[in-house]
Structure 1
């Protein structure tokens, strides 16, 4: 693969916060950026050299992006995979469209992971209304019903805990109008994630395992290092590396996992891009996930991912933003604030995050609690 050197232009499909942070990291390395997003003055557009404001599905806009870019990447997986596929034929899209297509659909994702002997949550595809009832015999209760496409932060998901809720599941399935999947509910002790970088030369590096805490199905905190055993950490990293190698990833892939009560590692979901649970790397690792992504897609050697300090990353949602701004003078001197430049703040919308760095988890947790922002 030819190295895409600094001074070149990186095109980004998507103008959200991940694109913004990719651009900020890449500017330090000397790259230029152009983004395609339907929202004017998007978070990425604010820091890029230029924004094309158009729907992701508009081929004319995609061609304009391609004509202006030396390499194209995507910053979230709900961009149009058909557009990415077409761009592959005329432009350099090192991530490709195949992995994007797989991860856009939970059925394809689970089936592909299972075929690679990766431990996944037992599942079945809903083909008829009767499957929602018979899933009890196959998977037991409780189970989780999910839309195959489009869901994130808990959207498009229903936890069915007893027979009385079957009617709710059937009603949701009839209204959804999309393919759906049922997964066995896994009792777990922790939710983990591992981000792997892989370049076109096959070099791979993992970031430290993150322990993730969710509130109302939205990521609240990422704690690093994760409070797990060394053997559990090694297992999580091995599984993540196997996935990155099996899928021939170029760029980043985030693997979300469950650590079961029995100590097993089970893969839940994939994201073929930088990930919310990797934001801690911006301040706590020698190389951030965003710089690493640029290195990978541009054919550069991957950077060192050594953790420099224990850290807790805390998301700032719409309902937290005013408190954060009011209490900026109370933030510890080792806390790093990152805001995304979104114009409209609404409940549960991710507006930014704070990285709290310090010597111990206990000290960091105390700092967070004393601020009383997330209570």
Structure 2
């Protein structure tokens, strides 16, 4: 860490951003407002972040010539999501300053390294074993139990995981296991899922209010903050958040995910270095956004103390909900709508998000539920299942 201490990026310098979509666009806008020239690196010239930037480089993350060219134009580079390979960061660090570093990516992109890290800081994670072939799987399933989840060691884009609900499912894993080493872990049935976002500066740390998430098939539907939770559980979440931030060689915003079971047992789901979709809820919940705090961290100035302002709920807007959303647009005075600029070839079904702000989370949730916009989708999905 000492090599990164007191490394300041002053206004007028050039910040490079690796990423795309709404998050990269917002960070670009905040950096430009703070006086920086911004370059964006991504694979789609039509992406909104590319259009917002002062300059852009279109290229794949495997294109070393393009990466070198881009890095040499920047005084510092930040990545906005965790899908950048650690080797890419190691490579561009030869040509520019990358405040976040590569170490956290190395830890979270290898599931065994990640689990060793969690063991080191004494946190509760799902029981797991390493499996190489079908024999391993048959021998291990009794100790893990059903249901179990089979995941590749290397985390990344396009990866596949498989749920094993019963013994007859194991034979289906034969082809699955041909691609390398896997982790077999217990599936943790849980009543609640939480997200803690931490900003780690070069000298200081700030923690955002805890969020509760609602997901459907791993797709985010809702984020609400500050989460309503038992004080003892909140204290343990904060302890873990602080321990993670202290142990990781990292500068910037990161997210730690948690599961809470019906019996009150807390499990750590994982760590995500970078900005998140659910982090947009802080545009209303607190007096500083995830983008402002991330920028302060990576350019080397003190983080802003985070003060809660009001409870808020963020609901994701799907394209097929737009007719209903237009009705709410006309009716709601406490709803703030954000619509994402889509590239012509975008496969995303997400149109944007809405922030619902007020005095009490329960009342806000009731307001959301009464519109039936998201209830209809849930009922439809349940029928399909």
TM-score > 0.5 by shorter chain: yes
Rounded Cα–Cα distance in structure 1 between residues aligned with 2:56 and 2:126: 40
- Report the counterpart of residue 167 of structure 1 in structure 2: 171
TM-score normalised per structure 2: 0.89
Contact 2:132 2:180 in 1 (8 A): no
Matched ranges for 1:314-325 at <5 A:
314-321=315-322, 323-324=324-325
TM-score normalised per structure 1: 0.91
Measured against aligned partners, the alpha-carbon deviations of 1:234-287 in whole angstroms (never above 9, x if no partner) come to 211110110111013211110011112332321111110011221101222111
Is 2:360 the counterpart of 1:356?
no
Return 5+ residue gaps in structure 2 as ranges: 1-5, 377-385
Contact 2:85 2:105 in 1 (8 A): no
Rounded Cα–Cα distance in structure 2 between residues aligned with 1:53 and 1:216: 32
- Report the counterpart of residue 294 of structure 1 in structure 2: 295
- Report the counterpart of residue 158 of structure 1 in structure 2: 162
How many pairs does the alignment contain?
A: 370
Change (3 A) 1:318 1:103: farther
Paired residue secondary structure (2:249): coil
Contact 1:213 1:220 in 2 (8 A): yes
CA shift for structure 1 position 119: 2.2
CA shift for structure 1 position 103: 1.7
Change (3 A) 1:345 1:57: closer
Matched ranges for 1:236-247 at <5 A:
236-247=237-248
Contact 1:284 1:311 in 2 (8 A): yes
Change (3 A) 1:113 1:28: same
- Report the counterpart of residue 260 of structure 1 in structure 2: 261
CA shift for structure 1 position 323: 4.3
Change (3 A) 1:149 1:18: farther
- Answer with 312-321 or 54-63: which moved more: 312-321
- Report the counterpart of residue 81 of structure 2 in structure 1: 76
Matched ranges for 1:114-129 at <5 A:
114-129=119-134
Change (3 A) 1:132 1:330: farther
Contact 1:196 1:253 in 2 (8 A): yes
Return 5+ residue gaps in structure 1 as ranges: none
- Report the counterpart of residue 97 of structure 1 in structure 2: 102
Is 2:12 the counterpart of 1:11?
no
- Report the counterpart of residue 50 of structure 2 in structure 1: 45
Measured against aligned partners, the alpha-carbon deviations of 1:266-314 in whole angstroms (never above 9, x if no partner) come to 1111110011221101222111011110010111111122221111111
Taking only aligned residues, the RMSD between alpha carbons, in angstroms, comes to: 2.2
